[in-house]
């Protein structure tokens, strides 16, 4: 397969840059995918788009995302703008027959997300949503081990995604906590750990959550005396019940002082367990029961070429992948799926399923009891 | 103060031995307490009691705990027998005017525990319950830091006590899971982490729990084909709301394959956080916000003489305390309180308060919603 | 500066791929450097070169490295072939006026390496050698802290680079242990940790080493009964004395069973210390003396945008760099130096200085005593 | 065996207290040893001796150690005084037919130590020297694994004992650095890691060392302007060659800023390796080659009853031993050996062998080359 795919990237910020790195590296890592041709980049500020085109190697730039979506040389549209714009951009891209990568969450509203899923399904385009952390080679192995029964019957899951970028009550009010963008941390970080739980163990059937706003007001600007009431959540603590039967807990927290990337889990089965944290993303702890009691313990597995697709980046163990490499795996799989004419994962539908867990948790917190994930 | 206290110890098993070590070491560590005189040891098997008297240095032994409780040279009674015997022994000891140390939980029934509390209060004897882990010098500092506001307003607590001694579904049915002894893991391990949460942050006002029996039947004996239904819980996952306002989660789990002593917490405040695990009981992680961003991070504090009462055991840092040392601190404080004529901590009342959280959690799980801790 | 630089890459193996990733990512990370134009890739096997050109996005390929070196559209030559070819290729590239990046070590012979240094100096081209690990943002900070006196007078350095790719005595004889390629582990891994020591603390003045061949023979092929004597070293243990006065040790080891990337150090000063291991390359431990004894300890610093140039890859802390990102920093600095018309670092001369320490260590081991680094 | 042994303890400081704890706990941990009867305690300050007798439960006290040594009810003498007194006390005790425990090192002078060894041998008394760290149950297993060939041919040892109690150049001159007491850190800490190396791998045949005084003068008192020249070593870095053939390094360092108990090693064999640090004394890392590459890695073994004699202290894993428990094991073995009429270990002769390595290292540093351990 040597077909090319013209890439159109909307947004040049944090995630725009990550997409650019990934599209630039994808073919070097995955030589069998269609060749990504960096066709056009858009930003609401045309000068930023021009600068980014130079920096990231895109052939053209534009201040008008609609021009990008409509461009006949663009086959794939990557959406990295704030959540409130996802729906309009994605629907336009789908309508133009483009394959679409969209950063999570799909949209602030579950109904809008469903509309996006249905439009993509109807158009038959390939979609992908940026749940990059599960692209970790060690997590792929973790999922396979759980699926193959290597840990025995699964008996529990404890998942966390905690960071501290909102821990300071004097951090000002911002777009991030504008309820127009949807819920707070439960959508921003919670969706990652919910997605990871589903990736590892399948659907979550029921939730009972405590979703809280802890910092109830914030200054309207850095140092301002005027404060504005905060309406979105800072912490979500969720009891979960998986469809497969086992229970667990999930926490999403953006006021977790000191934590920069506490995304991880302990997954326990009758015969073994796995412990992971994104803080040390190239390590996975494995315990297997039944060995020599004298020398049993958690094994610290270090990522290496024996954990596909690590070897696409480096043939030697111990060298380690970084965040942008995970994004490259994501893009490699997405482009590969387009080339092969099959669905990619996690796609719009999976993102919608994750969002349903988010919404059920919020509903549960209000109802002060268990709620089924519809 | 050079007054002596005659010690009577009931039980010679796991905890009986721990008490013996602690009573033998207490004066060496805490020279100002009354001298513990090892007066009598009781076991239902008189030969075990005789052997233990030699091994632990008790002057006399008996097969009849009532003789011990009644003995005029016994001032303090330590109860380390199975839970179902605690009430009768404790009430008898209190009736005889003895000070009483009882292993946790006080009794299988909350009503019985209250009776024990009230009897002790009425008699004016000093009581103590074996929540040994909070005797850790580093946890005393943690509590002090939280209380002094060094972490700012507390915004969250995530507590766990997970071990794996019941993880194997083929482990036979035993006294440990006989419902006559009270609930399962939520009492056995859960009480430790609930006690630790209260020690650090004060009362828990409300809970919403998922308390589960995962291994629903066990063989009647090792290797037997006949199985018996399990009625007590294997895992308890609890959303908690502290009286001070902050939320959190608590998990108790005795099927946590691979974990031998995962008792710990992450305690987060607006200005800092603490991370602890009993797996590394001589370490405490501290994060303080607001420092130089370049060199900020979690500080790994290693226990040393600057953390009282570590220095009572060793004048040099880095040497480390072990489990039996924590028990020695517990006994030192208990005997010191008796000598000083004041209450010790945690006493029967505190154990009762912990048990109320356990019972509220079980009720909450049945009700599938929040329950106030009465 | 928008000048372009035509890149010519010789070699398509492990390091060839790493260079390709780095050249593809360099501008995205460092927008102010000259634009790297992927001009030509060479491999002794022309079909591999063709395939690599597609995969890595080079415009042309060749089976003849001399054609690449001579090509007028090639401004920069990257050499990633086995050591024995470095000299000839580098001298040819320098003669053609190209800037040269060469993987370490420069050459098997110190005299040949000096010839390479002198040729480059004379030609005035910019050179760089692939000591990628010191490109870590945290190590740049470590060096700056040591230089600024933040750790006080430096009193010791303990450096290690240990891996296990040769630990099995049944691993067959290969090019890696052919003495024609130079010394064994002391050149292969030792040069990295020696380079890191020099990066942090400056020149090493004297060494006293024990350089050993442990696996004295290896099968001529996997599973073969015939064995061949091994003449190069498996372990080097070196006492070092830095020109600045402090002492230390350095170990290089490729039979360190279980270690995949134990490259690290403990650097101690009168007022503080630093601990680093490439096994957790996004973490640096810092201890500063003189703080509150109660809360002192090693701080675990997690890499973030406050540690330049991490922020060129990601604006948020905790996301982590990987090995290929370090290589991108290396290439970004190299291309930036070319654009600015200044020397890059570590250049051929620095590689030569490192090799002098290697050679002095070997001489010291033979002499069974201290040897000055000339 | 129910024979009693009258214990006489000389010294009531740091180590005196550790001995007291250990003698008080020994029988509880090891019920089959002779009963230690706490007969007499001596301190040059009689009031301290009186106080200590109360605190530690000794029957009598004295200000005259000769009275203790001569007392007919004293069977065992424990010497915990400064090094310069060891010889005289030990020889007197031996002459009186007592069994002797002496803290390390035996004496400042190798010749004096040999005299102590010979006197003990001649008298046929049981001796023990306080190398407590090797009493760790996990290290006993480590030694057994190495001896049984579980790690294959041993190829390397990297040992360290580094602390920081002398790191501050303003710490005043003290008895600790008075050359009358013998060498500096190489004796104080170096003897521990040399002893550990010998315990694990047997005799050290040759050494090449760099033994340095780093802080060359210290104030005569805290804050004083007058300074006194330091004549003993602050850091010793030693290349070692074991009699069994393998090489290694050993470092002793008391100016290792930030380290409180960095006593540990990495021991590597062709088939496996072990990593240990006293900083986490209840953990041992084990790597075994040849397993499933996907799930291989270092196993973190947590101490438990499967590692004798841990089970003498607690029947459940994960509870952890502390420093004083190691001392109890030491005393239990010592008293057990006396009861059984056999040698204990490490005895005076082993301490002398360790001291020979210390002396050879100092000689090697002066000679700037390898020196055989006589």
In this structure, chain A runs to a length of: 374
Q: Are D361 and D195 in contact (CB under 8 A)?
A: no
For residue B53, give how far its alpha carbon lies from the nearest alpha carbon of chain D (Å): 10
Q: What share of chain D is helix, strand, coil (3-state, %, to 5)?
A: 40, 25, 35
Nearest CA-CA partner of B285 in B277, C138, B318:
B277
Of A158, A160, A168, which has the smallest distance from its Cβ to B289's Cβ?
A: A168
Average pLDDT across chain D, whole number? 97
Gap between the Cα atoms of A299 and A320, Å rounded:
18
For D318-329, b where at least 16 C-beta lie within 10 A, e where not — what string? Answer: bbbbbbbbbbbb
Of D25, D35, D304, which has the smallest distance from its Cβ to B260's Cβ?
A: D304
Cis check: omega of the bond before C346, within 30 degrees of 0 = yes
Instruction: Give the residue numbers in B contacting A (CB under 8 Å), as ranges.
Output: 151-152, 155-156, 158, 160, 164, 167-169, 208-210, 212, 214, 234-235, 237, 239, 241, 246-249, 251, 253, 255-259, 266, 268-273, 287, 289, 297-298, 368-370
For residue B303, give how far its alpha carbon lies from the nearest alpha carbon of chain D (Å): 10
pLDDT at C83: 93
DSSP class of residue A281 equals: T
Write out the DSSP string of D124-174: T--EEE--GGGG-HHHHHHHHHHHTTTT-SEEEEEEEEE--TT--TTSPP-
Q: Are D63 and D43 in contact (CB under 8 A)?
A: yes
Which chain C residues contact residue A50 at CB under 8 A? none
| Domain residue limits, chain B | 4-132, 137-280+282-321+352-367
Which positions of chain A have pLDDT values less than 70?
Answer: 1-2
Q: What is the pLDDT of residues B227-275, one digit of tens each?
A: 999 999 999 999 999 999 999 999 999 999 999 999 999 999 999 999 9
Phi/psi of residue A92, nearest 5 degrees: -65, -40
Gap between the Cα atoms of A88 and A106, Å rounded:
11
pLDDT at D175: 87
Partners of C266 in beta bridges = C158, C275
Structure tokens at D176: 């600790």
pLDDT at A175: 87
pLDDT at D141: 98
Burial environment of residue C366 by CB neighbours within 10 A (0 to 12, 13 to 18, 19 or more): exposed
Lowest mean pLDDT among A209-218, B43-52, C171-180, D40-49: C171-180
Gap between the Cα atoms of B91 and D205, Å rounded:
67
Residue B72 CA to its chain's centroid (Å)? 29
In SS3 terms, chain C reads as: CCCEEEEEEECCCHHHHHHHHHHHHHHHHCCCCCEEEEEEEECCCHHHHHHHHHHHCCCEEECCHHHHHHCCCCCEEEECCCHHHHHHHHHHHHHCCCEEEECCCCCCCHHHHHHHHHHHHHHCCCEEECCHHHHCHHHHHHHHHHHCCCCCCEEEEEEEEECCCCCCCCCCCCHHHCHHHCCCHHHHCHHHHHHHHHHHHCCEEEEEEEEECCCCEEECCCCCCCEEECCCCCEEEEEEEECCCCEEEEEEECCCCCCCCEEEEEEEECCEEEEEEHHHCCEEEEEECCCCHHHCCEEEEECCCCCCCHHHCCCCCCCCCCHHHHHHHHHHHHHHHHHHCCCCCCCHHHHHHHHHHHHHHHHHHHHCECEECC
β-strands B99-102, B127-129 pairing:
parallel
pLDDT at C68 over 90: yes
Gap between the Cα atoms of C303 and C285, Å rounded:
11
Which chain A residues contact residue C319 at CB under 8 A? 261, 322-323
Give the best residue of A301, A302, A305, A317 to mutate against chain D (max D CB count within 10 A). A301
For residue A114, give how far its alpha carbon lies from the nearest alpha carbon of chain C (Å): 30
Q: What is the pLDDT of residues B326-367, one digit of tens each?
A: 999 999 999 999 999 999 999 999 999 999 999 999 999 999
In this structure, chain C runs to a length of: 374
Partners of D302 in beta bridges = D283
DSSP class of residue A150 equals: T
pLDDT at D1 over 70: no
Q: What is the pLDDT of residues D76-96, one digit of tens each?
A: 999 999 999 999 999 999 999
Closest-CA residue in chain D for B3? D54
Q: Are A219 and A227 in contact (CB under 8 A)?
A: yes
Gap between the Cα atoms of A46 and A63, Å rounded:
4
Q: In the β-sheet with A60-62, what is the strand arrangement from edge to edge? A: A60-62, A35-42, A4-10, A76-79, A99-102, A127-129
pLDDT at D181 over 70: yes
SS3 category, D39: strand
Gap between the Cα atoms of D247 and D156, Å rounded:
5
Gap between the Cα atoms of D323 and D305, Å rounded:
17
**Helix B83-95, helix B110-123: angle, nearest 10:** 20
Subunits next to D (3 or more Cβ pairs <8 Å) are A, B, C
Do B296 and C297 lie within an 8 Å CB cutoff? Answer: no
pLDDT at B1: 46
Give the best residue of D301, D310, D315 to mutate against chain A (max A CB count within 10 A). D301
Give the best residue of A274, A295, A303 to mutate against chain D (max D CB count within 10 A). A295
Radius of gyration of chain D (CA): 21
Which chain A residues contact residue B251 at CB under 8 A? 158, 249
**pTM for this prediction:** 0.98
Instruction: For residue C361, name the pLDDT band (cuts at 50, 70, 90).
Output: very high
Of D300, D306, D307, which has the smallest distance from its Cβ to A298's Cβ?
A: D300
Instruction: For residue C2, name the pLDDT band (cuts at 50, 70, 90).
Output: low
Instruction: Give the residue numbers in C contacting B (CB under 8 Å), as ranges.
Output: 141, 286, 293-302, 304, 306-307
CATH topology of domain B137-280+282-321+352-367: Dihydrodipicolinate Reductase; domain 2 (3.30.360)
Beta carbon pairs, A and C, within 8 Å? 120
Gap between the Cα atoms of D141 and A285, Å rounded:
23
Which chain C residues contact residue B296 at CB under 8 A? 299, 301
Give percent above pLDDT 70 in chain C: 99
Of D18, D316, D322, which has the smallest distance from its Cβ to B325's Cβ?
A: D322
pLDDT at A2: 54
Structure tokens at B278: 């009993």
Gap between the Cα atoms of A18 and A38, Å rounded:
14
For residue D167, give how far its alpha carbon lies from the nearest alpha carbon of chain C (Å): 6
Instruction: For residue C175, name the pLDDT band (cuts at 50, 70, 90).
Output: confident
Instruction: Give the residue numbers in A contacting C (CB under 8 Å), as ranges.
Output: 2, 14, 17-18, 20-21, 24-25, 27-29, 31, 35, 51, 54-57, 163, 165, 259-261, 278-281, 302, 304, 313-325
- Residue D48 CB coordination number (10 Å): 18
For residue B204, give how far its alpha carbon lies from the nearest alpha carbon of chain C (Å): 28
Instruction: For residue B175, name the pLDDT band (cuts at 50, 70, 90).
Output: confident
> Which residues have CB under 8 Å from B307's CB, separation 6+?
B137, B138, B140, B141, C294
pLDDT at C163 over 60: yes
Gap between the Cα atoms of C185 and C194, Å rounded:
12
Which chain D residues contact residue A294 at CB under 8 A? 141, 301, 306-307
Subunits next to A (3 or more Cβ pairs <8 Å) are B, C, D
Instruction: Give the residue numbers in A contacting D (CB under 8 Å), as ranges.
Output: 141, 286, 293-302, 304, 306-307
> Which residues have CB under 8 Å from C184's CB, separation 6+?
C176, C177, C213, C232, C233, C234, C254
Q: Are C113 and C355 in contact (CB under 8 A)?
A: yes
Closest-CA residue in chain B for A163? B268
In SS3 terms, A299-312 reads as: EEEECCCCCCCHHH
Once rounded to an integer, what is the mean pLDDT over residues C93-100?
A: 98
Closest-CA residue in chain A for C311? A14
Q: Are D19 and D12 in contact (CB under 8 A)?
A: no
Burial environment of residue B266 by CB neighbours within 10 A (0 to 12, 13 to 18, 19 or more): buried
Instruction: For residue C340, name the pLDDT band (cuts at 50, 70, 90).
Output: very high
For B51-77, b where at least 16 C-beta lie within 10 A, e where not — what string? Answer: bbbebbbbebbbeebeebbebeebbbb
What contacts 24+ positions apart, CB below 8 Å, involve B83-88?
A: B83/B107, B83/B108, B83/B181, B83/B182, B83/B187, B84/B108, B84/B180, B84/B181, B86/B116, B87/B112, B87/B113, B87/B115, B87/B116
Nearest CA-CA partner of C327 in C32, C99, C101, C107:
C101
Give percent above pLDDT 70 in chain D: 99
Q: Are C278 and C134 in contact (CB under 8 A)?
A: no
For residue A339, give how far its alpha carbon lies from the nearest alpha carbon of chain C (Å): 16
Of D261, D314, D320, which has the smallest distance from its Cβ to B281's Cβ?
A: D320
Instruction: For residue B2, name the pLDDT band (cuts at 50, 70, 90).
Output: low
Write out the DSSP string of A152-170: -SEEEEEEEEE--TT--TT
Check if CATH label 3.40.640.10 holds for domain C4-132.
no
Q: Are C40 and C71 in contact (CB under 8 A)?
A: yes
Indicate if B137-280+282-321+352-367 has the same CATH topology as B4-132: no
Q: Are B244 and B202 in contact (CB under 8 A)?
A: yes
Once rounded to an integer, what is the mean pLDDT over residues B292-297?
A: 97
Q: Are A268 and A289 in contact (CB under 8 A)?
A: no
For residue C225, give how far its alpha carbon lies from the nearest alpha carbon of chain B (Å): 43
Do D28 and B24 lie within an 8 Å CB cutoff? Answer: yes
């Amino acid at each position: 397969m040597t077909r090319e795919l013209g890439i159109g990237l909307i947004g040049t910020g944090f995630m725009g840059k990550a997409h650019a790195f990934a599209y630039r590296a994808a073919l070097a890592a995955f030589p069998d995918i269609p060749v990504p041709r960096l066709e056009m980049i858009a930003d609401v500020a045309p000068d930023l788009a021009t600068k980014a085109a130079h920096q990231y190697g895109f052939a053209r730039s534009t201040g008008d995302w609609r021009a990008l979506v409509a461009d006949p040389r663009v086959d794939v549209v990557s959406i990295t703008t704030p959540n409130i714009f996802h729906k309009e951009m994605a629907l336009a891209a789908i309508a133009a027959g483009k394959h679409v990568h969209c950063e999570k969450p799909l949209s602030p509203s579950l109904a809008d997300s469903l509309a996006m899923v249905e439009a993509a399904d109807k158009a038959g385009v390939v979609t992908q949503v940026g749940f990059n952390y599960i692209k970790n080679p060690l997590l792929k192995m973790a999922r396979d081990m759980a699926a193959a029964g290597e840990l025995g019957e699964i008996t529990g899951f404890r998942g966390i995604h905690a960071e501290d970028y909102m821990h300071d009550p004097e951090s000002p009010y911002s777009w991030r906590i504008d309820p127009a963008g949807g819920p707070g941390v439960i959508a921003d970080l919670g969706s990652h750990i919910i997605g990871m739980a589903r990736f590892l163990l399948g659907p979550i059937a029921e939730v009972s959550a405590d979703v809280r706003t802890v910092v109830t007001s914030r200054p309207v600007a850095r140092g301002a005396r005027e404060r504005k009431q905060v309406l979105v959540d800072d912490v979500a603590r969720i009891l979960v019940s998986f469809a497969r039967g086992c229970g667990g807990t999930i926490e999403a927290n953006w006021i977790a002082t000191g934590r920069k990337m506490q995304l991880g889990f302990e997954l326990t089965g009758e015969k073994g367990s796995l412990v992971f944290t994104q803080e040390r993303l190239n390590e996975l702890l494995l315990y297997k029961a039944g060995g020599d009691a004298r020398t049993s313990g958690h094994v610290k597995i270090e990522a290496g070429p024996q954990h596909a697709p690590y070897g696409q980046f480096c043939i030697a163990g111990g060298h380690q992948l970084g965040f942008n490499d995970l994004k490259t795996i994501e893009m490699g799989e997405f482009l590969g799926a387009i080339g092969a004419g099959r669905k990619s994962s996690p796609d719009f539908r999976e993102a919608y399923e994750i969002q349903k867990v988010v919404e059920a948790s919020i509903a549960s917190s209000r109802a002060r009891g268990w709620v089924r994930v519809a």
